[in-house]
Amino acid sequence: MNWSPDEHYQSRKVASEYDRKRFASVPGRVFNHLEKRTIVKCFARVPKGQTIADAPCGTGRLAEPLLAAGYRVHGLDISDEMLEIARQRLRGFPGRFACEVVDVKASRPHEPLYDAALCARVLMHFPLDQQVEFLTGVARLSRSIVVINHSLDSGYQRFRRRVKHWLGNQASANYPVSNADIRVLLQQSGLREVQRYRLASLVSEAIYIVAERITPAAESARARQSQSAAAVS
């Protein structure tokens, strides 16, 4: 990899071109629309009016549908240039959108500050140990669930990637993950998968995972649930 995702987006030019370069084509627009819909669905268990941490927020692309759905959003990103685009884009949601420059990999809040968290389109740019570092930072922001988006590395997706490579297309993710990697990533970040969505799986490796924090309270609730399920059966 000859670029650093931590530094690459700290540029006005990159920030101003981000949405147009990725989502202006017809397939890009369709994917963007479907992804926004999927993200809102992933948060269905979070009551409207609660605050979601969007880390990294980037240009506010995914904060927008969450705000439109009735949530409050706090965006965190290492790039003030990306956040400046988000501030402009989301000025129609006064009092419900705020953002700040934070290095999520380095941030370790003592207590979760937000009701839920989103981590989209970033993990696949880092090797697995740095993905754990990033996702641990995000998980510590949330009192309940964390929704992550990733690139799935399956036999079929590897074949698709090879075909794309032969056709001269650049791979979009440097570090896609297998299901085994996902288990390691979630477990080492203090999370457990509760639900998964795929989006156009024949033509896209994108997956969306709803994960809950592994906390003593969540563990006892789970134990109580399995005890009452066992008692009923």
**Contact residues: ligand SAM, CB under 6 A:** 5-6, 9, 56, 58, 61-62, 77-79, 82, 103-105, 120-122
Question: Toward ligand SAM, which CB reaches closer, 46 or 219?
Answer: 46
Q: How far is the CB of 104 from ligand SAM (least distance, A)?
A: 4
Q: Which residues of 138-160 are buried (b: 16+ CB within 10 A; e: fewer)?
A: bbbbbebbbbbbbbbbeeebeeb
Question: Toward ligand SAM, which CB reaches closer, 56 or 65?
Answer: 56
Question: Toward ligand SAM, which CB reaches closer, 105 or 150?
Answer: 105
Residue nearest to ligand SAM (CB): 58
The full length of the chain comes to 233
Q: Taking every pair of C-alpha atoms in the chain, what is the biggest distance, in angstroms? A: 61
Structure-block tokens of residue 219: 């563990």
Compute the distance between CA of residue 136 and CA of residue 113 in angstroms, rounded to an integer: 14
Q: How far is the CB of 217 from ligand SAM (least distance, A)?
A: 28
Q: How far is the CB of 209 from ligand SAM (least distance, A)?
A: 15
Q: How far is the CB of 212 from ligand SAM (least distance, A)?
A: 20
Compute the distance between CA of residue 199 and CA of residue 21 in angstroms, rounded to an integer: 20
